[in-house]
Chains A and B, each alone.
Chain A
Amino acid sequence: MSAMQRKKRTEAFLLGNEAVAEGALLAGCTFFAGYPITPSTEIMEVMARRLPHVENGVFLQMEDEIASAGAIIGASLAGRKAMTATSGPGFSLMQEQIGYACMTETPLVIVNVMRGGSSTGLPTSPGQGDVQQARWGAHGDHPIIVFSASDVRECLEMAITAFNYAEKYRTPVILLLDEITAHTREKIEIPRPGEFEVLSRLLPTMPPEWYKPYEETVRGVPPMPPIGTGYRFHVTGLTHDPLGFPTSRPDEVKAVTERMFRKIDRFFHDIQIVDHDLTEDCDTLVIAYGSVARSARLAVRQAREAGVKAGLLSLKTLFPFPRPQVEKLLRTCKLVLVPEMNMGQISREVKRVNSGITTIRTLNRVDGQIITPSQILKEIA
């Protein structure tokens, strides 16, 4: 491995979308099923070009987004690392399948490149309106992980991270981008294999006849064999017992539901990823994510030049909402601004955590344009 590391890394000039696809391939994704939709299409295009050259790589164009989500669930159960990519309208169609994947604890990565507006909305313009849908779009109580990325390098990193966490926690992971992040080209270094961690799901070590698919484990994440390797198990969206068969026995229902939450809740410290920028001594804080975090980074610099002690907390993990990191800064800041390209979806979470500690101000823009650094600067300086 050391010989490989000494080799020069490849520099490339990539779109955010292309970087997501590169990240997925580096993380070991061998299955992509999707239906093209602006502004996510370039992810699918790269996968269509590249997967046929990957060992056992499969690329499928499906008839719609419902089928796409179904296909990647099947592929994942068969042992593949699988992904699909879509935008708002397609993401809505996928919700039922996302719930099924949560219930069956199937690792998946679903990329949603957010466009403006509801329904067909603004296909070529940015928005951040799917944040709460990513958390609560599927019905019923379910834990889920939602990541975001603000620049091209982060697109690659968070795609790898999304696969790692999907595998580690046996859960669907949503990667939420916005049109600007997805359609910005930047120079990045593509890391070489061995320079980053790649995680894979735990396989059962017991003989097939002893295997219980949804058995309690120390971490709360049961091992998962690929279908067709001798381990027989039943997969259902109905609430199931440790053997995977439907149950309505209150003690079994309670146990499986609570374990599904516990496997995520106990590892919040691992899952909640944030970036601190000038927050050590700040009294004015901006909390942002996606492309808006880049505007905020410039605004915070400009505010510092104007004598304001400003700082930026950019969220890479949106859900589970990084409460500890946010709460700590709320206690030391006199003003917190949450700029978003929606009518206030992460600001709801910030206000929930805040419960009266400090002043929260929102900055919402829903005209299909990015929030500019000047707009943010005006609010904090």
Chain B
Amino acid sequence: MKEQITLDRFEIRLSGLGGQGILTLGKLLGHALALGHGYQVTQTQSYGPEARGGASRADLVVSSHPISYPKTERLDLLVALSQEACNSYHHLLKKSGVLLVDTGLVKQTPTNVFLGLPFTDLALTRVKVPQAMNTVVLGAVTFLMPFAKRDVMRKSLLANLPEKIHKANLKAFSLGYDQARRLLTQPIALWTGEDEDTAKRGDMNLTDIMVED
């Protein structure tokens, strides 16, 4: 069982294409972390004026303390569900940050330090509901984040989705969690060690941050 961990600005970006359910995933994750886990959370979003397609992303800041700046500056977790998203946002990760990609959609990662699962493929072949891809991601992310609790996430998932899609999404959630547990690094090994970026936040390269947000 995971312990309640004190957090100071844990920053997450979920990114990909319009239509992948990224804003919904952001809402689900934020809802669970804020109401279920009891953290302070700000969830913001960015999307283009197009009805579908185009870049889409949701950002979350999770903290045990009140959050002033609601957007992300240096990421602890980047979920990239398209090649373009991975290329655009990879440089915003902290040194100790974790990159999680859909290995079916992100063919070329800019680093060899990353975690990946074929989320879209899993949703298609194992859940047989391609739209449940974002819930597979939620399952995997729940396993990876040391402060996220599986049962709380499940509860929030059910609270936020209409009943007729509960079954498929529960299946997708468990699949994502189990796949991550079997194939990815133990969460305890992640997000440890002194973060160099935070240590010298004062002389951070300003132009870096100003590119996005």
B189 at the interface (CB under 8 A from A): no
Q: When the two chains form the complex, which single residue of B35, B48, B70, B206 contacts A13, counting CB atoms closer than 8 Å? A: B35
Considering only CB atoms and an 8 Å cut-off, how many residues of chain A contact the other chain?
29
Q: Smallest CB–CB gap between B68 and chain A, Å?
A: 4
A186 at the interface (CB under 8 A from B): yes
Contact B41 A186 (CB under 8 A): yes
Q: When the two chains form the complex, which single residue of B40, B45, B67, B206 contacts A375, counting CB atoms closer than 8 Å? A: B206
A373 at the interface (CB under 8 A from B): yes
Contact A301 B43 (CB under 8 A): no
Chain B residues within 8 Å of A185, by CB: 26-27, 30-31, 34, 41-44
Contact B35 A369 (CB under 8 A): no
Contact with A along B100-144 (1 / 0, CB 8 A): 000000000000000000000000000000000000000000000
Q: When the two chains form the complex, which single residue of A13, A123, A124, A374 contacts B46, counting CB atoms closer than 8 Å? A: A124
A257 at the interface (CB under 8 A from B): no
A291 at the interface (CB under 8 A from B): yes
Task: Assess A298 versus B44: contact at CB under 8 Å? Given A123-B49, A185-B27.
Answer: no
Chain A residues within 8 Å of B210, by CB: 369, 372, 374-375
Q: When the two chains form the complex, which single residue of B26, B48, B69, B209 contacts A294, counting CB atoms closer than 8 Å? A: B69
Contact A184 B209 (CB under 8 A): no
Q: Could you tell me the distance between the alpha carbons of A324 and B210 in the complex, rounded to whole angstroms?
A: 34
Q: Smallest CB–CB gap between A50 and chain B, Å?
A: 18
Contact B209 A298 (CB under 8 A): no
Contact A370 B71 (CB under 8 A): yes
Q: When the two chains form the complex, which single residue of A11, A123, A294 contacts B68, counting CB atoms closer than 8 Å? A: A294
Q: Smallest CB–CB gap between A284 and chain B, Å?
A: 16
Q: Could you tell me the distance between the alpha carbons of A343 and B33 in the complex, rounded to whole angstroms?
A: 37
A263 at the interface (CB under 8 A from B): no
Task: Assess A301 versus B68: contact at CB under 8 Å? Given A185-B30, A372-B209, A378-B206.
Answer: yes
Contact B31 A291 (CB under 8 A): no
A255 at the interface (CB under 8 A from B): no
Considering only CB atoms and an 8 Å cut-off, how many residues of chain B contact the other chain?
30
Q: State the main secondary structure of chain A at its contact with B.
A: mixed
Chain B residues within 8 Å of A373, by CB: 68-69, 73
Task: Assess A372 versus B42: contact at CB under 8 Å? Given A13-B34, A124-B49, A185-B30.
Answer: no
Q: Could you tell me the distance between the alpha carbons of A306 and B201 in the complex, rounded to whole angstroms?
A: 11
Chain A residues within 8 Å of B73, by CB: 372-374
Contact B68 A374 (CB under 8 A): no
Task: Assess A124 versus B41: contact at CB under 8 Å? Given A13-B30, A180-B70, A185-B27.
Answer: no
Contact with A along B49-92 (1 / 0, CB 8 A): 10000000000000000011111010000000000000000000
Q: Could you tell me the distance between the alpha carbons of A302 and B46 in the complex, rounded to whole angstroms?
A: 26
Q: Could you tell me the distance between the alpha carbons of A301 and B9 in the complex, rounded to whole angstroms?
A: 14
A183 at the interface (CB under 8 A from B): yes
Chain B residues within 8 Å of A12, by CB: 35
- Closest-by-CB residue of B relative to A185 is B43
**What are 12 A-to-B residue pairs whose CB atoms are below 8 Å?**
A12-B35, A13-B31, A38-B49, A124-B47, A151-B70, A186-B42, A298-B68, A306-B202, A370-B71, A370-B213, A373-B69, A374-B209
Interface of B with A (CB < 8 Å)? 26-27, 30-31, 34-35, 40-49, 67-71, 73, 201-202, 204, 206, 209-210, 212-213
Interface of A with B (CB < 8 Å)? 11-13, 38, 122-124, 151, 180, 183-187, 291, 294-295, 297-298, 301-302, 306, 369-370, 372-375, 378
